[in-house]
Structures are given as C-alpha cells and as structure tokens.
C-alpha cells in the first residue's frame, strides 16, 4: 500500500511539475517577446524624432548593437542599416512591416529564421518625409529556449521529484500507519479513518460469528470426547491409507497400547490376518465384522466405511470385548449337551427296568425292588430338571428378587430342620452356631445357597458325622461357614466342583444322588448377592465352605 501511494504521489507530482514547467516556459517566452516589442517600439519612436531632426547622419553616428536599425526609402531602397552594407541589401518594399508602415504609419511583423532557432520582431514607423525607420530585434524560439533551459530544468525536475518522493514516502507511511496498527482482534476499539469503519464493523461481526462457531465446535468436540472416552467400546477412525486419525482410550487399552497411536498405521495395533481382512473390507466400502483374540480376550471388531462423494475416504471401527458373551454362549452349548446327556442316563434306566417288567422277566417278589429303582431314577430326573430350570432362570436373570432384612439364624435353623430326615439317615448331627444376625439380602437366593451347602455337607458326610453352620458378622461382612466332617474333596477337583455337572469321581458319587449343579447354583447365587465363596477341604477329614456377603 505504501508503495502504491508513493508511486501515485510521485507520478502526480511529476505530471504537475512537467505541466507547470511547460506553462512557465510559455508564459516567460511570451513575456520576453512582449518586452522586446515594447523596447523596440520605444526605440523606434525615439529614433524617428532624432532622424527627422538630424537626418540619417544621426543613425550613422549611433552606437547601437542590441537591435538592428534599418532606414528605408519610400520606394523600398535601404538607405542605412547598422548591421549590413545598405547598398548590398535588396529592395525592402515587399516587406510586410514596411508596406504596413508606408500605408498606415506603423508596421509590425514577426518572422522565423530558416533554422527556426530564432524569431525576429520588426517594428517600422513612417517618417514625415515618407521614409521608413525599422527597428528589429531577435528572440530565441521556444525550442532554442528549451534547449538552453533543458539542463537546469532537468535538475529542477530531479530535485522536485526527489523532494516529492521523500514527502510522498513520509505521507504514505503516515497514511498507512494507522491501518498497520489496527487491532483486528478488537476492531470496535480502533479509531481510524471513517472510510475504514464499515470494514471494521464487518470484521467485528465476522469475528463474533467465528468466535460463536468456534465455541460451538469446541463444545461439540468436548461432548464427543466425553462420549467416546466413557465408552467401554474401542473407537478407531482411520483414513483410506489405514492411518489412524483418532481413537478413544478404550481402543488403546484393548490393543494393549500405553499411549495414543494417532498418525501410525492401524496395522501396528494388530497384525493378524482377520484384522487385515476387516480393514480391507471396510476400506473397499463394505460393512464387516470379525472376532479377534487379543490378550486372551475375545474382541468383536465392526467396521463402517466413511464415504465422501461416493468414494471411501476412511472408516470407523468399533471394538467390543465380547469375551463374556462368547464364554456364556459356549457354556450354554455345553450345558445343553450335558443336560441331554444327564437326562438320558436315568431315562434309559427307567425305560430298561420298565421293559424288563413289561416282558415279564421279573418275578413278582422282585417287582417292588424294580419299581423303587424306577422311582429313584424318576426322582433323580425331577431333581435334574428342577436344577436345570433353576440354572436357566439364574442365567437369564428371570427371577424377580426382592431385597429385604433377613434373620440368618432363623434361616439356618429352618434349613437344618428341613434336612433333619436326610441327616438322620446317616446319623449326622447338624449344629447352628449363631447370634441373631440380621442381613439385608434376597431371601430366596440365600436360602438356596445355604440349603445346597448344608445338603452337600450331609450327603458327603460319614456315618455319625457332624455339620456345623456358623454365622458371624465381621468387618461389615456376613460370614456363613458350613463345615462337615465328611469325605472331603481331592485337591485336584477343588477348583472344578463349581462347574456345571461336575461331580468328583463319578463312581464314588454314584452312591450319592446328585446332579452336579448344586455348587454352580451356589456360586451363581453368591455372586448375585455380591459376595464370595471359599472352599477348604481335606480328603477324608472334611470340607469347609465359607460364604462372605456384604452387610448391605
Ligand atoms: P451334586 O449334585 O453332585 O452334589 P454339587 O454341585 O452340589 O453337585 O457338587 C459337586 C460335587 O462336589 C459333588 O458331586 C461332590 O463330589 C463334591 N462335593 C460337594 N460338596 C461336598 C462336600 N461337602 N464334601 C465332599 N464333596 C463335596
């Protein structure tokens, strides 16, 4: 801008100067021409009088060098000339000024020299005797004048232009300075030229709009960040070259990365064939999903391509930890297979016994024994079906539970009483050691847990054995211990007894009826109540099951 203003100012100054100089030249030239005319007029008047009085001798004695004096007879013959021999000069009757003087008394003319370098001004007066006195003087032409004044004029011009340039530079800087110092962050605070004010107010409005839009965008980004950072699922955004554009905390955790991997290739997260296929399918424009195994976890990856103007520019990938679902699915499949298997055994027995009776292979006195075997197997079937239903209900969270205050001492005594008969068959004594202990729990679930533990403690006890149920409150926790003096559980089986359908040493267990589901129902129930179960057992000596429950 400074340059532009400077150039314009210098150009204007140069043009004005050039035109000004030309005008001055013209005026001066005219002025000098007039000056010469006036002077030769005066001289002519004065010489006319002198010649009329003293004749031509006056002229001959006159010492005049500046102007040319020519004395001409009425017929045009030159009688005297102060700068040339009169005889050598031709007749002047045809000269414009001479003719004019002869006819009107005064004659004037101007003639340019052959080279146009000079101009001669003539002034002629008719004397009383009819002769003509002509005075002439020469003046340099405009061009000649120009040629003479060119160098000084050039220097004047240079000086002037230089001066104009310096002033213009200073002025343009001064004009631009307030513009350079504009505070565009706060346009409303600037006090500058009023011509700039509409621009400033526009900037102010735009600034305001930009600020609002920025705030909006920031808020949206924050919201997005809050959502993605609180997501359990891993979120990954990649471009079409698989470069990671962004990801949330969960995705780095899932892939075991300690820091963000933005800018890296997505393949640096996982190099498996399935992962590569997932990305390839996504970036080819297909929605796809796979199941990966990462650090022993089952991770489901779902990819969605991102389109812009119908071309894939990247993809959004979601990773979910589905280990639990996969495990549950596996368990369910195993469970169904186990249930079918477990149901088949008693059914085959029932069907076998019934067939033998039907075909009349059994003696009348043995029928009673066969029927009781069928009854026993049928009972086992019922137990199995009940336990299976119970487990399915627990799996599906179907049972509507109510939390309430329960007196555990009363509950334990009731259970002991209900198992009295079973205990009596083995002569097992059951003791309940507890103060009145109130616990906030789900009665139905805890009853089931305690019943199963006590039943096992009796079932797997020895003749004349002892079962003691102890309930105590310790460190804001309820501890329920069911201890027996039974056969115990071998070390190798202790971890597995909580699995569904797991029974220690089937041959040994076949003496004791059971489904292998009791302890898995117990474990399920305890974890539902927010507690834990611990097992301590020694083969041949007995087993202790300890359930810890939070007080509330
Ligand atoms: P079951 O219906 O066979 O009793 P459970 O799930 O209740 O099924 O128990 C699984 C297995 O754990 C039992 O078959 C048994 O071998 C063993 N077991 C459970 N409780 C005891 C105990 N108190 N003493 C010895 N063994 C036990």
Confirm or reject: Cβ of 100 under 6 Å from ligand 1. Answer: no
Intervals of the chain under pLDDT 50: 507
User: 90: which DSSP letter?
Assistant: P
**Ligand 1 midpoint to CA 464 (Å):** 19
**Ligand 1 midpoint to CA 497 (Å):** 7
pLDDT in tens, 512-542: 777 888 999 999 899 888 999 999 999 999 9
The residue nearest atom 4 of ligand 1, judged by CA position, is 514
Q: What's the pLDDT score for residue 507? A: 43
Confirm or reject: Cβ of 346 under 6 Å from ligand 1. Answer: no
Query: Which tokens is 28 given?
Result: 């001066």
Confirm or reject: Cβ of 72 under 6 Å from ligand 1. Answer: no
Q: What is the DSSP string of 21-45?
A: HHHHHHHHHHHHHHHHHHHHHHHHH
The residue nearest atom 19 of ligand 1, judged by CA position, is 456
Query: Which tokens is 134 given?
Result: 């002509």
Confirm or reject: Cβ of 542 under 6 Å from ligand 1. Answer: no
**Ligand 1 midpoint to CA 515 (Å):** 9
**Residue 406 φ/ψ region, left for φ over 0, alpha for ψ in the -120 to 50 degree band, beta for the rest:** beta
Query: Which tokens is 265 given?
Result: 């290739």
Confirm or reject: Cβ of 486 under 6 Å from ligand 1. Answer: yes
Q: Which residue has the tokens 């796809």?
A: 288
Reported residue count of the chain is 552
The residue nearest atom 13 of ligand 1, judged by CA position, is 503
Ligand 1 closest atom vs CA 516: 8
Q: What's the pLDDT score for residue 97? A: 92
Confirm or reject: Cβ of 543 under 6 Å from ligand 1. Answer: yes
Ligand 1 closest atom vs CA 484: 23
**Ligand 1 midpoint to CA 436 (Å):** 29
Q: What's the pLDDT score for residue 233? A: 93
CA distance 30 to 27: 5
- Strand-pair partners of 122: 109, 136
Confirm or reject: Cβ of 501 under 6 Å from ligand 1. Answer: no
Confirm or reject: Cβ of 518 under 6 Å from ligand 1. Answer: yes
Ligand 1 closest atom vs CA 514: 2
Closest CA to 285 of 266, 315, 305: 305
Q: What is the DSSP string of 53-118?
A: HHTHHHHHH----SSEEEEE-TTS-EEEETTS-TTTSPP-TT-HHHHHHHHHSEEEEEEE-TTSSE
**Ligand 1 midpoint to CA 519 (Å):** 7
Pocket test for ligand 1, best of 382, 519, 522 (most atoms within 8 A of CB): 519
The residue nearest atom 8 of ligand 1, judged by CA position, is 516
**Ligand 1 midpoint to CA 541 (Å):** 15
- Cβ atoms 4, 139 nearer than 8 A: no
Confirm or reject: Cβ of 519 under 6 Å from ligand 1. Answer: yes
CA distance 171 to 166: 9
**Ligand 1 midpoint to CA 235 (Å):** 45
**Ligand 1 midpoint to CA 512 (Å):** 9
Pocket test for ligand 1, best of 494, 514, 526, 542 (most atoms within 8 A of CB): 514
Q: Which residue has the tokens 């069928």?
A: 374
Phi, psi of 496 (to 5 degrees): -95, -10
**Ligand 1 midpoint to CA 518 (Å):** 7
**Ligand 1 midpoint to CA 442 (Å):** 24
**Ligand 1 midpoint to CA 33 (Å):** 144
Ligand 1 closest atom vs CA 502: 10
Residues 6+ apart with CB under 8 A from 487: 460, 461, 462, 508, 539, 540
**Ligand 1 midpoint to CA 369 (Å):** 27
**Ligand 1 midpoint to CA 517 (Å):** 9
Q: Could you tell me where the DSSP H helices lie in 105-196?
A: 142-180
């Amino acid at each position: 801008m400074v340059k532009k203003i400077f150039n314009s100012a210098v150009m204007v100054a140069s043009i004005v100067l050039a035109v000004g100089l030309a005008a001055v030249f013209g005026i001066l030239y005219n002025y000098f021409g007039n000056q010469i005319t006036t002077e030769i007029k005066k001289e002519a008047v004065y010489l006319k009088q002198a010649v009329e009085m003293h004749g031509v001798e006056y002229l001959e004695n006159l010492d005049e060098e500046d102007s040319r004096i020519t004395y001409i007879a009425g017929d045009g013959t030159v009688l005297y000339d102060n700068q040339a021999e009169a005889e050598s000069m031709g007749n002047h009757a045809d000269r414009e000024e001479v003719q004019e003087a002869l006819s009107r008394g005064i004659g004037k003319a101007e003639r340019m020299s052959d080279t146009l370098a000079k101009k001669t001004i003539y002034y002629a007066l008719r004397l009383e005797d009819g002769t003509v006195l002509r005075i002439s003087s020469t003046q340099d032409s405009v061009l000649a004048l120009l040629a003479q004044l060119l160098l000084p004029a050039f220097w004047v011009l240079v000086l002037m232009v230089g001066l104009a340039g310096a002033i213009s530079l200073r002025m343009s800087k001064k004009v631009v300075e307030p513009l350079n110092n504009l505070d565009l962050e706060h346009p409303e605070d600037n006090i500058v030229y009023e011509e700039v004010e509409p621009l400033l107010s526009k900037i102010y409005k735009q600034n305001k709009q930009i600020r609002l839009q920025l705030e909006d965008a920031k808020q949206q980004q924050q919201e997005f960040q809050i959502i993605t950072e609180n997501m359990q699922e891993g979120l990954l955004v990649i471009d079409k070259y698989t470069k990671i554009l962004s990801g949330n905390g969960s995705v780095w955790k899932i892939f075991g990365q300690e820091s963000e991997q933005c800018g890296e290739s997505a393949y640096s997260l996982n190099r498996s064939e399935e992962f590569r296929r997932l990305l390839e399918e996504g970036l080819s424009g297909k929605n796809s999903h796979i199941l990966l195994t990462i650090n022993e976890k089952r991770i489901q990856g779902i990819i969605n391509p991102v389109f812009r103007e119908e071309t894939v520019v990247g993809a959004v990938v979601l990773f979910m930890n589905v280990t639990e679902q996969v495990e549950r699915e596996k368990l369910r499949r195993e469970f169904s297979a186990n249930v079918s298997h477990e149901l088949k055994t008693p059914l085959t027995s029932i069907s076998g016994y019934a067939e033998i009776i039907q075909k009349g292979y059994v003696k009348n006195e043995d029928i009673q024994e066969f029927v009781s075997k069928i009854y026993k197997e049928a009972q086992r079937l019922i137990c199995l079906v009940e336990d299976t239903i119970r487990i399915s209900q627990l799996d599906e969270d179907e049972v509507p539970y109510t939390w309430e205050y329960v007196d555990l001492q009363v509950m334990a005594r009731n259970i002991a009483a209900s198992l009295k008969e079973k205990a009596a068959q083995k002569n097992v004594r059951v003791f309940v050691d507890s103060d009145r202990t109130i616990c906030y729990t789900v009665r139905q679930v805890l009853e089931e847990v305690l019943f199963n533990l006590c039943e096992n403690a009796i079932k797997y006890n020895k003749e004349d054995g002892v079962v003691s149920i102890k309930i105590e409150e310790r460190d804001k926790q309820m501890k329920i211990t069911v201890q027996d003096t039974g056969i115990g559980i071998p070390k190798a089986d202790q971890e597995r007894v909580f699995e569904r359908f797991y029974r220690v040493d089937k041959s040994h267990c076949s003496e004791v009826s059971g489904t292998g589901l009791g302890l898995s129902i117990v474990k399920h129930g305890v974890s539902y109540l927010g507690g834990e179960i611990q097992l301590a057992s020694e083969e041949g000596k007995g087993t202790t099951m300890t359930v810890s429950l939070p007080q509330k």
